[in-house]
Amino acid sequence: MDIYEIKRRYAAGERYFPGVTLSRARLIAAYLPGINLWGANLSEANLAKAKLWGADLSRANLAKANLTRANLSGVKLNEANLRGAKLNNAKLYGANLTGAYYDESTRFSRGFDPVSKNMRKLEI
C-alpha cells in the first residue's frame, strides 16, 4: 500500500493502517489526525509539518524520519523507534513517549528532556 492509497482510504473515513510500510514516504504537511499506524515502517519518511494529533504510532519505526514542526499532540509513540529522527519544533503536548527509543543523533527541540518522558536512550 502506498501513501496515495492511504490518503484515499483516510479521506473515505478509514483510520486503521497497522504495520503498513511507508519507508521514505513524502508526507510533508499531511493531514492525518487520529490515524492508526501502529507498528508501521516510516523510516526515513518526511513528515515535516504533518498534522497527526491523536494518532497511534506505537511501535512504529521512525528511524531517521523528519518530524520537524509536525503536530504530534496527544500522539501515542510508545516504544517507537526514534533513532536519528528530527523532532525539531515538533508539538509533543500530551504525547505518550514511554519506552520510545532515541540515540545521540535524534534531534529534539531546545529544552526537551527525553528522560522525563520515560524514553530509552540506545548507545550507538
CATH number of 3's domain: 2.160.20.80
Rounded distance between C-alpha atoms, residue 102 and residue 77, angstroms: 12
Cell of 89: 519544533
Chain centroid offset of residue 24 CA: 13
In tens digits, the chain (124 residues) has pLDDT values of 899 999 999 999 999 999 999 999 999 999 999 999 999 999 999 999 999 999 999 999 999 999 999 999 999 999 999 999 999 999 999 999 999 999 999 999 999 999 999 999 998 6
Number of H helices, E strands in the chain: 1, 4
Which domain, by its residues, includes 115? 1-124
Angle at 113 between CA 103 and CA 71, to 5 degrees: 90
Distance between CA 27 and CA 117 in Å, rounded? 26
Overall number of domains in the chain: 1
